[in-house]
Structure 1
Amino acid sequence: MSNNNSILKIGDWIKAQSRDGELIIGYVESFDLLEEMTKVTVTTSDHQELVGKTIPIMNNMVKILPNSNVRNKEQILNLIDLALATGDEDWFLELSAKLNAMRELVRSVKSH
Structure 2
Amino acid sequence: MSNQHSILKIGDWVKGKLLTGELVIGYIENLDTQGGAVKAKIVTSDNKTIEGKSIPLLNRQVNKIPDANVKNKEQIQFLIDLALETGDEEWFLELTAKLNSMRELAEGVK
TM-score range, shorter chain: over 0.9
State whether residues 16 and 25 of structure 1, in contact with CA within 8 Å, keep that contact through their aligned partners in structure 2.
yes
1:26 is paired with a residue whose SS is strand
Give the structure-2-normalised TM-score: 0.93
What are structure 2's unaligned runs of at least 5 residues? Answer: none
Give the structure-1-normalised TM-score: 0.91
1:37, CA displacement in angstroms? 1.4
CA distances 1:2-30 after superposition (whole Å, capped 9, x unpaired): 76252111000100111121111111111
1:39 is paired with a residue whose SS is strand
Percent identity for Structure 1 against Structure 2: 57
1:35, CA displacement in angstroms? 2.2
- Cα distance between partner residues in 2 of 1:43 and 1:2: 25
Q: What is the number of residues matched between the two proteins?
A: 110
State whether residues 3 and 64 of structure 1, in contact with CA within 8 Å, keep that contact through their aligned partners in structure 2.
no
State whether residues 38 and 58 of structure 2, in contact with CA within 8 Å, keep that contact through their aligned partners in structure 1.
yes
In the alignment, what sits opposite 2:96?
A: 96
1:7 is paired with a residue whose SS is coil
CA RMSD of aligned residues (A): 1.5
What are structure 1's unaligned runs of at least 5 residues? Answer: none
1:48, CA displacement in angstroms? 1.0
Aligned partner of 2:55: which letter? I
